[in-house]
Amino acid sequence: MRTLIKNATTMLPDGPQPVAVVIEGGRIADIDPGPGLAVDETIDATGLHLLPGVVDDQVHFREPGLTHKEDLETASRACAAGGVTTFLEMPNTSPTTTTVERLHAKLELASGKCRVNYGFYIGATPDNVPELRAAQRTPGIKIFIGSSTGALLVDEQSALERIFAETTLPITAHCEDESTVRANAARLAGTCDVADHSRIRDHAAALIATRRSLDLAARHNHRFHVLHVSTGEETSLIHQAIASGRGLITGEACPHHLLFSVDDYDRLGTLVQMNPSLKTREDCRRLWQALNAGVLQVVATDHAPHTLEEKRRPYPDSPSGLPAVENSLALMLNAAHEGRCTLQQVVHWMCDAPARTWDLVGKGRIEVGADADLVLVDASLKKTVRNVDQLTKCGWSPWDGCELVGWPVRTLVGGRTVWREGRFDESVRGAEARFDHARGGYWATGGHGATPFSSFEAAG
Ligand code: DOR
């Protein structure tokens, strides 16, 4: 089967080009072929942009164990509709993904069920280093240095030292300092004001845990990815860590921390309660600045579905987290439409950078030989996010009612159209993502490459 996608503006690694793409055997077989090529299927993408499929490296999909909120099928359908063709899922399911056996069981569960490609982190506990050392078929190790949803937590220094010293997989972490959060919670005990969530999980909590992790990574010469950075101060720390030159550190921002601030509690209440908490508008500005300067490299969602009934419980009985996987690309396309960034940066942050951060094979770029995981977007399509349209099982979005410009219209996984303008090809399935950790991650594979990012100072 040979497919030709023609007349799109194709987002190649070094920028947009008006070139056709040929797909064969699930891979990109040619770019800009000459005339007269015999094909089985032609997709006329006039007026559309062709992007690599989004790689979302931080999602919580709740299967096994919490499937009243979400499951791998509903979540992966939401991914397909959002232009996400590969997801990397976190270990705070029930049971937790903290042994090789459970990791393999999750991969088994996903196979044949997921509409897009999948991978799963292995979670750290205070005493599972042998499992972390034995794990393969995974992007890396997730540590909850501060607790969030679920019981995973490693905050004792000796346990953290052991994990960084004795394992080789890339490490990523939820960075909020547990003792700071507990002390703040004790001080504000009895509150039912959701705005206090940002006083409990405050700037200091994020900063202390991020500093601690960066120190561990530096001393143990270990690759480390900072998840969901929420404060300006952390971006300065990450900048220093990257500038210190060992090529070990990458960092990520989520759409909710870029687009919501503490000012949104009045309007959205517990719907925007998440960990790390929302911070100030100045923090949002500094996250954008850090992305634009290349200090943060990745944008991912932290998709964390809870039912509306759960979310509407009065604070602090309401759970933390929000769904985002089917709207993240549209939110970032809309940001490009508003002039906050370019389309090329969106592709870098959501496709190429996460793929290289986690050593994904064949993902994140439109180039010959890559997997044909692709998304066609209409950069001028105007549409409003509506709860009723959400495919995530939890059935709501904090962006309900928001009009966005720029939407995915067709998603291909392994060269086949899985979703097109609201309709699924029910026969298409994703595959297990492959990781080649010998590649050495984002910086070892060229960092920002030819993309003209400015320096952090100049962006200030
Ligand atoms: O708010 C959050 N919810 N942050 C996390 O890191 C975990 C997530 C969840 O799983 O609910």
Mean pLDDT by 10 residues, the chain (460 residues): 98 97 98 95 98 99 98 98 99 98 98 97 98 98 96 97 98 98 98 98 98 97 98 97 89 98 98 98 98 97 98 98 98 98 98 98 98 98 98 98 98 98 97 98 88 53
From the CA of 361, how far away is ligand 1's center (Å)? 27
46 within some domain = no
Instruction: List the 224-226 sheet strands across, edge first.
Output: 122-123, 141-144, 171-174, 224-226, 249-253, 298-299
The number of folded domains in the chain is 1
- Using most ligand atoms within 8 A of CB, pick from 87, 92, 256 the residue to mutate for ligand 1: 92
Q: How far is the CA of 71 from the centre of ligand 1 (A)?
A: 16
Q: What is the pTM of this model?
A: 0.98
Indicate which atom in ligand 1 lies nearest the CA of residue 144: 6
Q: Is residue 137 part of a domain?
A: yes
Which entry of 71, 196, 302, 373 is annotated as an active-site residue? Answer: 302
| Ligand 1 atom with least separation from CA of 321 | 1
Q: Is residue 261 assigned to a domain?
A: yes
* 11 CA → ligand 1 middle, Å: 32
DSSP character at residue 36: T
How many CB atoms neighbour CB 185 within 10 A? 16
User: Is residue 411 assigned to a domain?
Assistant: no
> Which amino acids bring their CB within 6 angstroms of ligand 1?
60, 92, 148-149, 174, 274-275, 302, 304, 320-321
| Range 155-181 burial, b when 16+ CB lie within 10 A, else e | beeebbebbbeebebbbbbbbbbbebb
- Residue-level pLDDT at 246: 79
Give a three-class secondary structure readout of 221-272. Answer: CCCEEECCCCCHHHHHHHHHHHHCCCCCEEEEECHHHHHCCHHHHHHHHHHH
CA of 394 to the centre of ligand 1 (A): 14
**Ligand 1 atom at minimal distance to the Cα of residue 320:** 1
Task: Identify whether the C-beta of residue 34 lies closer than 8 Å to the C-beta of residue 365.
Answer: no
Ligand 1 pocket: which of 87, 96, 149 to mutate (most atoms within 8 A of CB): 149
- For the record, the structure tokens of 228 come out as 């969901």
Strand 249-253, strand 298-299: pairing: parallel
Question: What's the confidence (pLDDT) of residue 46?
Answer: 98
The answer to the question of residue 382 being in a domain is no
Domain presence at residue 355:
yes
Please give the distance, rounded to the nearest whole angstrom, from the Cα atom of residue 323 to the centre of ligand 1: 10
Is residue 438 in a domain?
yes
Q: Whose CA is nearest to atom 3 of ligand 1?
A: 321
Active site residue 302: yes
Q: Does any domain span residue 43?
A: no
Mutate to test the pocket of ligand 1, among 275, 306, 315, 393 (most ligand atoms within 8 A of CB): 275
Q: How far is the CA of 58 from the centre of ligand 1 (A)?
A: 10
Place of tokens 């210190």: 244
What is residue 197's predicted lDDT score, i.e. its pLDDT? 98
Owner of token pair 């989520």: 254
From ligand 1's centre to the CA of 438, what distance in Å?
30
Candidate of 56, 60, 272 to mutate for ligand 1, largest count of ligand atoms within 8 Å of Cβ:
60
The residue segments making up the domain with residue 199 are 51-370+433-459
- Ligand 1 centroid, distance to 249 Cα (angstroms): 22
Closest ligand 1 atom number to CA of residue 90: 10
CATH number of the domain that 288 lies in? 3.20.20.140
Phi, psi of 178, deg, nearest 5: -60, -45
Q: How many residues does the chain have?
A: 460
Both structure tokens of 43:
């997709």
